[in-house]
Amino acid sequence: MNRTHAAFAATVALTLAAGAAHAADGAKSPMEKCYGVALAGHNDCKAGAGTTCAGTSKVNYQGDAWKLVKAGTCTAIKTPKGMGSLTPKA
């Protein structure tokens, strides 16, 4: 990977991480963290032990990996491992 690609990748990663953190911050946010619904490598931020940030979950529907979803929809999301959760799942 050349410097241009590396710089672009870093910029995209930082932008996505900042956006996810900002969206999860405010009480008036139309988004909420939903645990156990992210596909492997598609979580929005840290997903427990062995992960560092967005896109580092190792398995589909990892219980401690979260994805931002529209507020009020998380617990209605059905996966092969059960429903989405507003708190980390074991």
pLDDT value of position 64 = 87
Mean pLDDT for 31-58 is 83
CB atoms within 10 A of CB 13: 13
pLDDT value of position 53 = 76
Mean pLDDT for 24-40 is 81
Structure confidence by residue, pLDDT tens digits, 64-90:
889 999 999 999 999 999 999 999 987
CA distance 55 to 39: 9
Q: How far is CA 68 from CA 7, 11, 80, 81, in A?
A: 26, 20, 19, 18
**Structure pTM?**
0.62
> CA angle, 29 as apex, 24 and 51 as ends, to 5°?
15
Contact 40, 55 (CB under 8 A): no
